[in-house]
């Protein structure tokens, strides 16, 4: 009979989770390290003594150690984390070595400015990446590709001193749930987490993969909290044209295990070998059949790592949806690499074989457009592997994959012919115009009559899938002052999904006109730079009813809310077409000579189609509030607003003069969002000639980007 651990003695050998622990323990111990002061310490650099243990960590790729930020923060609030040198002691076979590492990045990045009080929990995800400063030979763990852990038995490892000397040991427990919107994993109290184990790996015993990083233990008894390794995807995005740190590390991780799998230089067990020896999972509907073998999975990850990374997260999600047959899990964090897409293909719906879904996905990746030219033959090698692997499955799938590959090649050739006349990897859009891909949509609305607000962040598909909305996160009852902090993480996740290697995504802020003064462009989300400097930010009228909201006369089959400019043949559509191509003519809507005025409807409708109405006064007060509704009803899709300076005695003349020159220089409206971003950047960089643009907002009702005809819920009853 099995005991409470599910272990049955059979011919003297353990089975179940105990057997999995026996198999995985040597691999995990070989990759787990002790973190301490640099060799010699800061006060005696010539000494080779390492001093007390700060915590643990583990190699995730050659030369890279993952640990907790609070581990490398040993020493208090005065210590700068990024760039700090630490000591790393590790084992290579029977030899123990010590090397210096440098902290490359910490998460969240605000830990550099705001540290918790002594003995308090550090903010999630509380992670640090350490780059080893010398070439050393070491082992690496196998990281999970799944977005969510399975609540089953795990083992955790770290540095302990039970016998008086530091050593890497492991214990077992079960996962009990998640916290922090999935960023944290709760560990059961089956065993105790010792001091010094923080930063060590948490391993899923059934699947043989690292799912978490030990963070904290409970004050009394056993158990504690770990951080999901998937939070590595929240590493800062790369600058334009560069490969991000997350993609670099995961590429190195997959190529390391691929090389280990193919090598015949020694007979030591690899992670791939052990994956093939793990006991079968209970309740596996495939009983091992219908899944890729461990060797096939390692090979596929290696072949995907040899390709250039995807252009954006949305590219990965689209290919996953095509292979899986349904939209993938929208919960954060977003998939950033080809490997992350595989993690969304486990256990596909309707009993579909997992291997078939992964082979469809790999086929589509082999004919995808990459962000840069692939190494010659890399995409063909992936397709050759797909075709060979399908041989062990069934004939209809082999035929389907072949047809899928042919269609993909034809489509790629069509796209390349369409791009003739420009560089192959040059962005296919007009200079200064907005990107045609997905954008991030922020909606904020009043919570009833109270002075608090509900919000929602979504990904709004581009014109190719007009009106399609993918939720990211939502919240209720936030104050205006609390909105920037409440929205910091959801907005960062939205940008990760939509930003590409060529350009940053547009942020569309859909609020009632009374909230057009919301200073979203001044919020800081990542990188310490205001949003309006990092990317184009525009205002939208919200979906649903409200003053000045024109509803379509007939049902809209696309399910998207119309603006008067959306309907062909209307005055609004004529205005949009005219203002988009220019030239532009500004017209003061809410003031004359610096004094407020209320524009007449007849006057607004009689202005030329290339007019851009300009507002210089507070949006939540009359006459500006009424004017904003009136210009929308008159069909104007491009409108300028401004948050006036605190001193009401300051003249608006410099603003109107600077804006007139800017509109004349722009020539056409389609470049205004990016030109306004550039103006904000100049003002942020202390250019006095751009100070007039402070607080400027742009209302941008692009008919090609309709908002879904779906009103957000108005809070709880």
Residue 406 has pLDDT above 80, yes or no: yes
Question: pTM of the entire structure?
Answer: 0.83
Residue 337 has pLDDT above 60, yes or no: yes
Question: Which pLDDT value is given to residue 432?
Answer: 65
Question: Which pLDDT value is given to residue 288?
Answer: 54
Q: DSSP letter at 560?
A: E
CB-based contact 91:30 (threshold 8 Å):
yes
User: pLDDT tens across 426-448, in order?
Assistant: 444 456 678 788 999 999 999 87
| Mean of per-residue pLDDT scores for the chain | 86
Question: Which pLDDT value is given to residue 423?
Answer: 44
Specify the range with the lowest mean pLDDT, choosing from 69-83, 103-117, 537-551.
Answer: 537-551
The two structure tokens encoding residue 540: 């939208």
Handedness of CA 347, 351, 355, 359 (dihedral sign): negative
Q: Report the C-alpha gap between 310 and 370 in whole angstroms.
A: 6
Question: Which pLDDT value is given to residue 56?
Answer: 97
3-state helix, strand, coil in the chain (%, to 5): 30, 20, 45
Name the residue with higher pLDDT: 622 or 548.
622
User: pLDDT tens across 165-184, in order?
Assistant: 899 999 999 999 999 888 99
Give helix 245-262 / helix 294-305 axis angle, nearest 10°. Answer: 130
Question: Which pLDDT value is given to residue 78?
Answer: 63
Burial class, 595, CB count within 10 angstroms (exposed 0-12 / middle 13-18 / buried 19+): exposed
Confidence label for 195 from pLDDT (cuts 50, 70 and 90): confident
What is the mean predicted confidence (pLDDT) over 479-490? Answer: 95
Confidence label for 284 from pLDDT (cuts 50, 70 and 90): low
Q: DSSP letter at 137?
A: -
What is the mean predicted confidence (pLDDT) over 140-154? Answer: 92
Residue 654 has pLDDT above 90, yes or no: yes
Name the residue with higher pLDDT: 192 or 558.
192
Residue 410 has pLDDT above 60, yes or no: yes
Specify the range with the lowest mean pLDDT, choosing from 120-134, 309-323, 346-360, 543-557.
Answer: 543-557
Confidence label for 286 from pLDDT (cuts 50, 70 and 90): low
Question: Which pLDDT value is given to residue 454?
Answer: 95
667 torsion bin: left (phi>0), alpha (psi -120 to 50), beta (else): left
Question: Which pLDDT value is given to residue 640?
Answer: 97
Question: Which pLDDT value is given to residue 319?
Answer: 96
What separation in angstroms does the CA of 40 have from each of 43, 45, 54, 56, 131?
Answer: 8, 4, 15, 19, 19
| Start-end of H helices in 557-684 | 571-581, 601-605, 624-633, 653-666, 672-684
Question: Which pLDDT value is given to residue 191?
Answer: 84
Question: Which pLDDT value is given to residue 405?
Answer: 96
Q: DSSP letter at 191?
A: S
Residue 412 has pLDDT above 50, yes or no: yes
CB-based contact 346:285 (threshold 8 Å):
no
Question: Which pLDDT value is given to residue 15?
Answer: 67
Q: Tell me how many degrees the CA angle 299-302-306 measures, rounded to the nearest 5.
A: 140
Confidence label for 416 from pLDDT (cuts 50, 70 and 90): confident
Question: Which pLDDT value is given to residue 565?
Answer: 53
User: pLDDT tens across 233-283, in order?
Assistant: 999 876 555 568 999 999 999 999 999 999 988 788 999 999 999 988 766
- If one counts every other C-beta atom within 10 angstroms of the C-beta of residue 85, the result is 15
Q: Which residues is 167 bridged to in the sheet?
A: 160
- The alpha carbon of 413 is separated from its chain's Cα centroid by a whole number of angstroms, namely 30
| Start-end of H helices in 512-646 | 531-534, 571-581, 601-605, 624-633
Share of the chain above pLDDT 70, in %: 86
- If one counts every other C-beta atom within 10 angstroms of the C-beta of residue 621, the result is 14
Confidence label for 401 from pLDDT (cuts 50, 70 and 90): very high
Question: Which pLDDT value is given to residue 473?
Answer: 93
Question: Which pLDDT value is given to residue 431?
Answer: 60
Q: Report the C-alpha gap between 61 and 253 in whole angstroms.
A: 4
- Residues 6 or more apart whose Cβ sits within 8 Å of residue 137: 92
Q: Which residues is 177 bridged to in the sheet?
A: 186
What is the mean predicted confidence (pLDDT) over 538-565? Answer: 53
Confidence label for 6 from pLDDT (cuts 50, 70 and 90): very low
User: pLDDT tens across 339-374, in order?
Assistant: 999 999 998 876 668 999 999 999 999 999 887 888
Question: Which pLDDT value is given to residue 564?
Answer: 55
Question: Which pLDDT value is given to residue 447?
Answer: 83
Specify the range with the lowest mean pLDDT, choosing from 316-330, 652-666, 682-696.
Answer: 316-330
Residue 713 has pLDDT above 80, yes or no: no
Question: Which pLDDT value is given to residue 551?
Answer: 34
Specify the range with the lowest mean pLDDT, choosing from 115-124, 257-266, 501-510.
Answer: 115-124
Residue 637 has pLDDT above 80, yes or no: yes
Question: Which pLDDT value is given to residue 555?
Answer: 35
CB-based contact 266:247 (threshold 8 Å):
no
- DSSP, collapsed to helix, strand or coil, labels residue 421 as coil
Residue 467 has pLDDT above 90, yes or no: no
CB-based contact 641:699 (threshold 8 Å):
yes
- The alpha carbon of 41 is separated from its chain's Cα centroid by a whole number of angstroms, namely 37
* Domains of the chain, start order: 16-132 (2.40.10.10), 153-232 (2.40.10.10), 245-277+284-418 (no CATH), 439-708 (no CATH)
């Amino acid at each position: 009979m099995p005991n409470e651990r599910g272990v049955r003695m059979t011919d003297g050998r353990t089975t179940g989770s105990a057997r999995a622990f026996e198999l995985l323990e040597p691999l995990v111990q070989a990759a787990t390290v002790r973190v301490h002061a640099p060799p010699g310490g800061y006060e005696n650099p010539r000494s080779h003594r390492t001093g007390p243990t700060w915590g643990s960590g583990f190699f995730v790729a050659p030369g890279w150690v993952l640990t907790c930020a609070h581990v490398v923060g040993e020493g208090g609030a005065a210590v700068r984390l990024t760039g700090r040198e630490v000591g790393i002691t590790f084992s290579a076979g029977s030899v123990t070595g010590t090397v210096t590492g440098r902290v490359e990045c910490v998460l969240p990045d605000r830990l550099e400015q705001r540290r918790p009080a002594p003995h308090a929990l550090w903010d999630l995800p509380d992670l640090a990446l350490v780059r080893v400063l010398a070439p050393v030979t070491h082992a690496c763990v196998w990281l999970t590709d799944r977005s969510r852990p399975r609540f089953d038995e795990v083992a955790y490892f770290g540095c302990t001193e039970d016998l008086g000397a530091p050593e890497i040991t492991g214990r077992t427990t079960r996962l009990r749930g998640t916290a922090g919107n999935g960023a944290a994993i709760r560990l059961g109290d089956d065993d105790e987490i010792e001091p010094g184990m923080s930063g060590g790996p948490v391993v899923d015993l059934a699947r043989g993969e690292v799912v978490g990083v030990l963070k904290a233990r409970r004050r009394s008894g056993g158990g504690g909290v770990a951080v999901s390794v998937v939070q590595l995807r929240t590493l800062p995005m790369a600058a334009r044209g560069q490969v991000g740190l997350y993609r670099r590390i995961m590429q190195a991780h997959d190529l390391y295990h691929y090389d280990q799998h193919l090598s015949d230089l020694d007979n030591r067990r690899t992670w791939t070998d052990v994956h093939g020896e793990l006991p079968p999972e209970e309740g596996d509907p495939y009983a091992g059949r219908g899944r890729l073998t461990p060797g096939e999975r390692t090979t596929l990850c290696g072949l995907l790592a040899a390709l250039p990374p995807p252009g954006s997260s949305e590219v990965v999600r689209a290919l996953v949806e095509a292979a899986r047959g349904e939209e993938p899990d929208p919960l954060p964090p977003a998939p950033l690499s080809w490997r992350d897409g595989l993690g969304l293909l486990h256990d596909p719906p309707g009993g579909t074989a997992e291997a078939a879904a992964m082979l469809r996905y790999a086929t589509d990746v082999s004919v995808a457009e990459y962000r840069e030219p692939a190494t010659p033959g890399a995409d063909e090698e992936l397709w050759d592997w797909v075709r060979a692997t399908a041989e062990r499955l069934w004939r209809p799938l082999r035929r389907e994959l072949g047809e899928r590959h042919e269609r993909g090649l034809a489509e790629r050739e069509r796209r390349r012919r369409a791009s003739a006349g420009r560089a192959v990897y040059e962005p296919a859009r007009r200079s200064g115009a907005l990107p045609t891909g997905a954008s991030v949509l922020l909606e904020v609305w009043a919570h009833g009559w109270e002075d608090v607000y509900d919000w929602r962040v979504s990904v709004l598909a581009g014109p190719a899938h007009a009106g399609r909305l993918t939720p990211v996160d939502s919240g209720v009852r936030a104050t205006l002052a609390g909105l920037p902090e409440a929205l910091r993480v959801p907005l960062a996740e939205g940008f990760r999904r939509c930003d590409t290697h060529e350009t940053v995504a547009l942020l569309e802020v859909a609020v009632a006109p009374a909230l057009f003064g919301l200073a979203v462009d001044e919020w800081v989300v990542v990188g310490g730079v205001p949003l309006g400097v990092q990317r184009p930010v525009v205002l939208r009228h919200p979906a649903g009813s409200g003053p000045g909201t024109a509803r379509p006369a007939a049902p809209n089959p696309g399910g998207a809310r119309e603006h008067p400019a959306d309907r062909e043949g209307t005055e609004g559509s004529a205005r949009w077409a005219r203002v988009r191509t220019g030239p532009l003519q500004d017209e003061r809507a809410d003031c004359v000579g610096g004094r407020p005025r209320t524009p007449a409807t007849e006057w607004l409708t009689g202005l030329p189609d290339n007019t851009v109405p300009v507002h210089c006064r507070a949006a939540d007060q009359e006459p500006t509030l009424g004017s904003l509704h009136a210009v929308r009803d008159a069909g104007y899709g491009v409108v300028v607003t401004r948050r006036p300076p605190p001193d009401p005695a300051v003249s608006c003349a410099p603003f109107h003069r600077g804006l007139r020159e800017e509109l004349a220089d722009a020539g056409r409206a389609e470049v205004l969002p990016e030109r306004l971003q550039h103006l904000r950047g100049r003002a942020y960089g202390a250019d006095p000639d751009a100070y007039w643009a402070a607080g400027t907002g742009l209302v941008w009702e692009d008919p090609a980007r309709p908002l879904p005809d779906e009103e957000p819920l108005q809070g709880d009853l």
